[in-house]
């Protein structure tokens, strides 16, 4: 069985380009092509939820010209891929501090999110201006205010209350987390949601990540025993 929810840290665009003697934007452009083929392949694998770490909250600290180019590339990609997203019955979603994104990005995002909201196929979530610690902090702050104003009772407080205040409130927890480029860290991505996720790291840079690489990760996932704190005999 394929993982219900797969999340990917798409890493290595810049290094891939630098190895080829090309500017970093060349890597990001080819990273977009990788997104297209992996979304199509994930759909074929019947993955119900695919979440892509597209732009982290820390990425705002990159050189301004690179950030500006990434935002323009995002807008153009959304325009170019809108028809394919809709025709493949994919529902687009976005999480993160979306208010910090340029107006043009939000306009394109909101247009596709609204147009695809009734699609019944895979939910494709873009994590934009996203940080896991910031997401949890925001949730705790909102919950604290509600407890203070007697809108939430501590007597009925459990992890579902936290879930309901996260960006991902409408998504299931992650089953499989993939990171490309050889780095083996989480980088502030979906910290709450990956509590029991299987982690898969590959040396392949994101622009080279192929349909075969995704299939390999899924097969690895299928061969693992997910115990959720139990023993093998209890499963």
Which positions are catalytic? 11, 59
**β-pairing, 123-130 with 91-95?**
parallel
With 0-12 / 13-18 / 19 or more C-beta atoms within 10 angstroms meaning exposed / middle / buried, residue 1 is exposed
Angle, alpha carbons 174-210-50 (nearest 5°):
25
Residue with tokens 């949890």: 136
Q: Look up residue 110 and give its two tokens.
A: 């909101």
Strands (E), 96-203: 123-130, 176-179, 198-201
């Amino acid at each position: 069985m394929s993982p219900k929810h797969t999340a990917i840290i798409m890493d290595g665009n810049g290094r891939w380009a630098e190895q080829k003697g090309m500017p970093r934007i060349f890597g990001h452009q080819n990273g977009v092509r990788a997104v297209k083929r992996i979304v199509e392949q994930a759909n074929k694998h019947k993955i119900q939820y695919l979440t892509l770490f597209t732009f982290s909250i820390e990425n705002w600290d990159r050189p301004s010209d690179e950030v500006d180019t990434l935002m323009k590339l995002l807008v153009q990609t959304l325009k170019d891929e809108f028809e394919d997203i809709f025709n493949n019955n994919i529902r687009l979603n976005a999480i993160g501090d979306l208010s910090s994104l340029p107006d043009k990005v939000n306009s394109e995002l909101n247009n596709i999110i609204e147009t695809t909201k009734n699609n019944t196929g895979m939910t494709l979530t873009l994590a934009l201006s996203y940080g896991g610690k910031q997401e949890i902090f925001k949730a705790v702050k909102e919950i604290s205010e509600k407890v203070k104003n007697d809108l939430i009772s501590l007597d009925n407080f459990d992890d579902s209350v936290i879930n309901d205040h996260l960006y991902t409130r409408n998504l299931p927890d992650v089953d499989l987390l993939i990171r490309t480029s050889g780095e083996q860290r989480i980088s502030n991505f979906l910290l709450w949601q990956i509590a029991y996720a299987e982690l898969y790291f590959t040396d392949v840079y994101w622009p080279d990540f192929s349909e075969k690489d995704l299939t390999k990760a899924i097969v690895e996932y299928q061969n693992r025993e997910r115990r959720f704190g139990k023993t093998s005999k209890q499963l």
